[in-house]
Amino acid sequence: MASFYGFEPKSRLFLGTAQYPSPAILADAVKASGVEIVTVSLRREAGEGGAGQAFWSLIRDLGVRVLPNTAGCHGVKEAVTTAQMAREVFGTNWIKLEVIGEDDTLQPDVVGLIEAARILTKDGFEVFPYTTEDLVVGGRLLDAGCEVLMPWGAPIGSGRGLNNVYGLRSMRAHFPGVPLVVDAGIGLPSHAAQAMELGYDAILLNTAVAKAGDPVLMAQAFAKAIEAGHQAFQAQPIEARDMAAPSTPVMGKAFLS
Protein backbone atom coordinates (compact mmCIF):
# COMPACT_ATOMS: atom_id res chain seq x y z
CA MET A 1 0.00 0.00 0.00
CA ALA A 2 1.16 3.52 -0.75
CA SER A 3 2.31 5.65 2.16
CA PHE A 4 0.76 9.07 2.61
CA TYR A 5 3.21 10.97 4.80
CA GLY A 6 3.90 7.79 6.74
CA PHE A 7 0.28 6.62 6.97
CA GLU A 8 -0.61 3.47 5.03
CA PRO A 9 -4.41 3.06 4.87
CA LYS A 10 -5.85 -0.30 3.91
CA SER A 11 -8.59 1.37 1.90
CA ARG A 12 -7.73 3.12 -1.36
CA LEU A 13 -10.87 5.24 -1.22
CA PHE A 14 -10.83 8.72 0.36
CA LEU A 15 -14.31 10.11 0.96
CA GLY A 16 -15.61 13.66 1.20
CA THR A 17 -18.17 14.52 3.88
CA ALA A 18 -20.32 17.26 2.26
CA GLN A 19 -23.81 17.17 0.71
CA TYR A 20 -25.08 13.97 2.36
CA PRO A 21 -28.83 13.78 3.06
CA SER A 22 -28.16 13.42 6.79
CA PRO A 23 -25.30 12.86 9.25
CA ALA A 24 -26.56 9.32 9.83
CA ILE A 25 -26.31 8.48 6.12
CA LEU A 26 -22.81 9.96 6.01
CA ALA A 27 -21.77 7.78 8.94
CA ASP A 28 -23.31 4.68 7.35
CA ALA A 29 -21.57 5.39 4.02
CA VAL A 30 -18.18 5.78 5.71
CA LYS A 31 -18.65 2.54 7.62
CA ALA A 32 -19.95 0.63 4.59
CA SER A 33 -17.06 1.73 2.38
CA GLY A 34 -14.32 0.94 4.89
CA VAL A 35 -12.57 4.28 4.25
CA GLU A 36 -9.91 5.44 6.68
CA ILE A 37 -9.45 9.01 5.39
CA VAL A 38 -12.19 11.62 5.02
CA THR A 39 -11.95 15.21 3.88
CA VAL A 40 -13.56 17.96 5.96
CA SER A 41 -14.05 21.63 5.16
CA LEU A 42 -13.09 24.19 7.77
CA ARG A 43 -16.10 26.31 6.77
CA ARG A 44 -18.48 23.54 7.79
CA GLU A 45 -16.81 23.07 11.17
CA ALA A 46 -16.36 26.70 12.16
CA GLY A 47 -19.88 28.03 11.85
CA GLU A 48 -21.41 30.60 14.18
CA GLY A 49 -22.54 29.62 17.65
CA GLY A 50 -20.68 26.33 17.63
CA ALA A 51 -22.50 25.05 14.54
CA GLY A 52 -20.62 22.05 13.25
CA GLN A 53 -19.59 20.71 16.65
CA ALA A 54 -22.05 17.81 16.37
CA PHE A 55 -20.63 17.07 12.93
CA TRP A 56 -17.08 17.08 14.26
CA SER A 57 -18.12 14.73 17.07
CA LEU A 58 -19.60 12.38 14.48
CA ILE A 59 -16.35 12.33 12.48
CA ARG A 60 -14.30 11.62 15.61
CA ASP A 61 -16.63 8.77 16.56
CA LEU A 62 -16.04 7.13 13.16
CA GLY A 63 -12.36 6.69 14.02
CA VAL A 64 -11.09 7.91 10.64
CA ARG A 65 -8.14 10.11 9.70
CA VAL A 66 -9.24 13.67 8.88
CA LEU A 67 -7.85 15.49 5.85
CA PRO A 68 -8.97 19.14 6.18
CA ASN A 69 -9.29 21.06 2.93
CA THR A 70 -9.12 24.66 1.77
CA ALA A 71 -12.22 24.32 -0.42
CA GLY A 72 -13.43 27.57 -1.94
CA CYS A 73 -10.15 29.45 -1.57
CA HIS A 74 -9.23 31.58 -4.59
CA GLY A 75 -5.89 33.03 -3.55
CA VAL A 76 -2.64 32.11 -1.85
CA LYS A 77 -3.20 34.19 1.29
CA GLU A 78 -6.74 32.86 1.75
CA ALA A 79 -5.63 29.24 1.29
CA VAL A 80 -2.67 29.57 3.67
CA THR A 81 -4.77 31.27 6.35
CA THR A 82 -7.50 28.63 6.02
CA ALA A 83 -4.94 25.85 6.33
CA GLN A 84 -3.49 27.39 9.47
CA MET A 85 -6.94 27.70 11.01
CA ALA A 86 -7.74 24.11 10.04
CA ARG A 87 -4.63 22.88 11.82
CA GLU A 88 -5.84 24.52 15.02
CA VAL A 89 -9.39 23.17 14.68
CA PHE A 90 -8.62 19.62 13.61
CA GLY A 91 -5.24 19.10 15.27
CA THR A 92 -3.43 17.78 12.19
CA ASN A 93 -0.66 18.93 9.86
CA TRP A 94 -2.42 17.30 6.92
CA ILE A 95 -4.09 19.67 4.47
CA LYS A 96 -5.77 19.13 1.13
CA LEU A 97 -4.70 22.29 -0.64
CA GLU A 98 -7.11 23.87 -3.10
CA VAL A 99 -6.44 27.20 -4.79
CA ILE A 100 -9.21 27.72 -7.32
CA GLY A 101 -8.43 29.75 -10.41
CA GLU A 102 -11.60 29.58 -12.51
CA ASP A 103 -15.17 29.62 -11.26
CA ASP A 104 -17.00 27.61 -13.94
CA THR A 105 -14.66 24.61 -13.97
CA LEU A 106 -13.12 25.07 -10.50
CA GLN A 107 -9.78 24.45 -12.20
CA PRO A 108 -6.80 24.88 -9.87
CA ASP A 109 -4.72 28.04 -10.08
CA VAL A 110 -1.49 26.08 -10.45
CA VAL A 111 0.76 29.13 -9.99
CA GLY A 112 -0.90 30.03 -6.71
CA LEU A 113 -1.04 26.37 -5.74
CA ILE A 114 2.73 25.97 -6.00
CA GLU A 115 3.35 29.15 -4.01
CA ALA A 116 0.88 28.15 -1.27
CA ALA A 117 2.34 24.64 -1.12
CA ARG A 118 5.84 26.03 -0.62
CA ILE A 119 4.68 28.31 2.20
CA LEU A 120 2.74 25.56 3.96
CA THR A 121 5.41 22.87 3.74
CA LYS A 122 7.92 25.30 5.26
CA ASP A 123 5.38 25.79 8.06
CA GLY A 124 5.31 22.07 8.80
CA PHE A 125 2.21 21.08 6.82
CA GLU A 126 1.92 17.80 4.93
CA VAL A 127 0.25 18.97 1.75
CA PHE A 128 -2.10 17.03 -0.54
CA PRO A 129 -2.37 19.40 -3.54
CA TYR A 130 -5.44 19.37 -5.79
CA THR A 131 -3.82 19.93 -9.16
CA THR A 132 -4.06 19.20 -12.87
CA GLU A 133 -2.34 16.37 -14.72
CA ASP A 134 0.38 18.76 -15.95
CA LEU A 135 3.80 17.13 -15.49
CA VAL A 136 5.68 20.40 -15.04
CA VAL A 137 3.28 21.54 -12.33
CA GLY A 138 3.60 18.15 -10.66
CA GLY A 139 7.36 18.48 -10.59
CA ARG A 140 7.16 22.00 -9.15
CA LEU A 141 4.83 20.81 -6.38
CA LEU A 142 7.27 18.06 -5.45
CA ASP A 143 10.09 20.63 -5.43
CA ALA A 144 7.94 22.74 -3.11
CA GLY A 145 7.88 19.90 -0.59
CA CYS A 146 4.74 17.94 -1.46
CA GLU A 147 5.05 14.16 -1.21
CA VAL A 148 1.65 13.41 -2.78
CA LEU A 149 -0.01 14.63 -5.99
CA MET A 150 -3.77 14.71 -6.54
CA PRO A 151 -4.61 15.43 -10.19
CA TRP A 152 -8.22 15.96 -11.17
CA GLY A 153 -10.10 13.51 -13.35
CA ALA A 154 -12.61 16.16 -14.41
CA PRO A 155 -14.12 19.33 -12.90
CA ILE A 156 -15.31 18.97 -9.30
CA GLY A 157 -18.78 17.48 -9.04
CA SER A 158 -19.14 16.98 -12.81
CA GLY A 159 -19.19 13.17 -12.73
CA ARG A 160 -17.48 13.07 -16.13
CA GLY A 161 -14.82 10.57 -15.15
CA LEU A 162 -11.33 10.77 -16.65
CA ASN A 163 -11.23 13.59 -19.20
CA ASN A 164 -7.55 13.10 -20.05
CA VAL A 165 -6.53 9.47 -19.75
CA TYR A 166 -3.31 10.12 -21.67
CA GLY A 167 -2.29 12.87 -19.25
CA LEU A 168 -3.08 10.78 -16.18
CA ARG A 169 -1.20 7.80 -17.59
CA SER A 170 1.77 10.05 -18.37
CA MET A 171 1.78 11.40 -14.83
CA ARG A 172 1.82 7.88 -13.41
CA ALA A 173 4.74 6.95 -15.64
CA HIS A 174 6.62 10.19 -14.94
CA PHE A 175 6.36 9.95 -11.14
CA PRO A 176 6.59 6.20 -10.47
CA GLY A 177 7.50 6.52 -6.79
CA VAL A 178 5.07 9.30 -5.85
CA PRO A 179 1.67 8.49 -4.29
CA LEU A 180 -0.95 9.66 -6.80
CA VAL A 181 -4.64 10.18 -6.03
CA VAL A 182 -7.28 11.01 -8.63
CA ASP A 183 -9.31 13.80 -7.06
CA ALA A 184 -12.53 15.25 -8.53
CA GLY A 185 -14.85 14.45 -11.41
CA ILE A 186 -15.39 10.76 -10.70
CA GLY A 187 -19.04 9.87 -11.24
CA LEU A 188 -19.25 6.08 -11.48
CA PRO A 189 -17.45 3.12 -9.93
CA SER A 190 -16.25 2.25 -13.44
CA HIS A 191 -14.47 5.63 -13.61
CA ALA A 192 -12.67 4.84 -10.36
CA ALA A 193 -11.72 1.37 -11.56
CA GLN A 194 -10.29 2.86 -14.76
CA ALA A 195 -8.09 5.23 -12.74
CA MET A 196 -6.83 2.37 -10.59
CA GLU A 197 -6.09 0.32 -13.72
CA LEU A 198 -3.72 3.14 -14.73
CA GLY A 199 -1.75 2.48 -11.55
CA TYR A 200 -3.09 5.23 -9.29
CA ASP A 201 -2.84 4.68 -5.57
CA ALA A 202 -6.22 5.98 -4.42
CA ILE A 203 -9.37 7.87 -5.39
CA LEU A 204 -10.84 10.86 -3.59
CA LEU A 205 -14.50 11.58 -4.26
CA ASN A 206 -17.55 13.13 -2.67
CA THR A 207 -20.48 14.06 -4.89
CA ALA A 208 -20.78 10.67 -6.62
CA VAL A 209 -21.55 9.04 -3.27
CA ALA A 210 -23.24 11.86 -1.35
CA LYS A 211 -25.74 12.73 -4.11
CA ALA A 212 -26.50 9.15 -5.18
CA GLY A 213 -30.00 7.78 -4.66
CA ASP A 214 -28.51 5.37 -2.12
CA PRO A 215 -25.22 6.79 -0.82
CA VAL A 216 -24.46 3.78 1.37
CA LEU A 217 -24.85 1.30 -1.50
CA MET A 218 -22.85 3.57 -3.81
CA ALA A 219 -20.04 3.83 -1.25
CA GLN A 220 -19.83 0.04 -1.18
CA ALA A 221 -19.82 -0.09 -4.99
CA PHE A 222 -16.92 2.36 -5.19
CA ALA A 223 -14.90 0.43 -2.61
CA LYS A 224 -15.30 -2.78 -4.63
CA ALA A 225 -14.53 -1.09 -7.96
CA ILE A 226 -11.38 0.53 -6.62
CA GLU A 227 -10.08 -2.76 -5.28
CA ALA A 228 -10.92 -4.52 -8.56
CA GLY A 229 -9.10 -1.84 -10.56
CA HIS A 230 -6.03 -2.08 -8.34
CA GLN A 231 -5.95 -5.88 -8.67
CA ALA A 232 -6.28 -5.54 -12.45
CA PHE A 233 -3.26 -3.22 -12.54
CA GLN A 234 -1.24 -5.66 -10.45
CA ALA A 235 -2.24 -8.52 -12.76
CA GLN A 236 -0.61 -6.72 -15.73
CA PRO A 237 -3.50 -6.50 -18.23
CA ILE A 238 -3.04 -7.26 -21.91
CA GLU A 239 -2.30 -4.43 -24.31
CA ALA A 240 -5.08 -3.23 -26.60
CA ARG A 241 -4.60 -4.04 -30.30
CA ASP A 242 -6.29 -3.09 -33.54
CA MET A 243 -6.73 -6.57 -35.00
CA ALA A 244 -8.31 -9.72 -33.66
CA ALA A 245 -6.14 -12.39 -32.07
CA PRO A 246 -7.67 -15.89 -31.86
CA SER A 247 -7.93 -17.24 -28.34
CA THR A 248 -7.96 -20.79 -29.73
CA PRO A 249 -4.71 -21.70 -31.56
CA VAL A 250 -5.00 -22.85 -35.19
CA MET A 251 -1.97 -25.15 -34.94
CA GLY A 252 -3.14 -28.75 -35.07
CA LYS A 253 -6.51 -27.85 -36.53
CA ALA A 254 -7.90 -30.33 -39.03
CA PHE A 255 -8.25 -29.04 -42.59
CA LEU A 256 -10.92 -30.56 -44.77
CA SER A 257 -10.43 -30.48 -48.52
Residues that constitute the known binding site for 1-deoxy-D-xylulose 5-phosphate: 157, 184-185, 206-207
**Quick count: other Cβ atoms within 10 Å of Cβ 60?**
11
From 10, 96, 211, 224, the catalytic residue = 96
Q: Which residues contact 226 (CB under 8 A, 6 or more apart)?
A: 12, 13, 189, 192, 193, 196, 202, 203
Q: Is 31 a catalytic residue?
A: no
The residues annotated with a catalytic role in the active site are 96
